[in-house]
Amino acid sequence: MSVYVWQCRKCSHQVNKDSGPNNSGCPKGGSHDWNRLAEAGLTDYLCEKCNTQVKTGSQPSNSGCPSGSSHRWNKL
Ligand SMILES: [Zn+2]
Ligand SMILES: [Zn+2]
């Protein structure tokens, strides 16, 4: 089964999991708002807007940047 990198667009928290992580207990209040970035992998990407670093197999999704409308990923 594939493992995906998920990020909450409210608190920036990151989780590697096959399906959507638990929504409860977002530190920003209410429930986490998970966004699926990409399949987990070995390539490092850094978003220059929210400073999120992820390890994925391909370019992560641009949607759901906690610092604005869309992530701006740079391959490290
Ligand atoms: Zn959250
Ligand atoms: Zn971002």
**Distance between CA atoms of residues 56 and 38, nearest Å:** 6
Residue 38 CA to ligand 2 centre (angstroms): 14
Residue range 20-68, pLDDT digits in tens? 999 999 999 999 999 999 999 999 999 999 999 999 999 999 999 999 9
Range of the domain at 21: 4-75
Please give the tally of structural domains in the chain: 1
pTM: 0.92
**Angstrom distance (rounded) from CA 32 to CA 60:** 19
CA distance 32 to 42: 26
User: What pLDDT score does 30 carry?
Assistant: 97
In angstroms, what is the span from residue 52 Cα to ligand 2's centroid?
6
Cα 26 to averaged position of ligand 2 atoms, centre (Å): 18
- Residue 1 confidence (pLDDT): 82
Q: How far is the CA of 59 from the centre of ligand 1 (A)?
A: 22
The CA 30 to ligand 1 mean position distance, Å, reads: 8
At position 17, the amino acid (one-letter code) is K
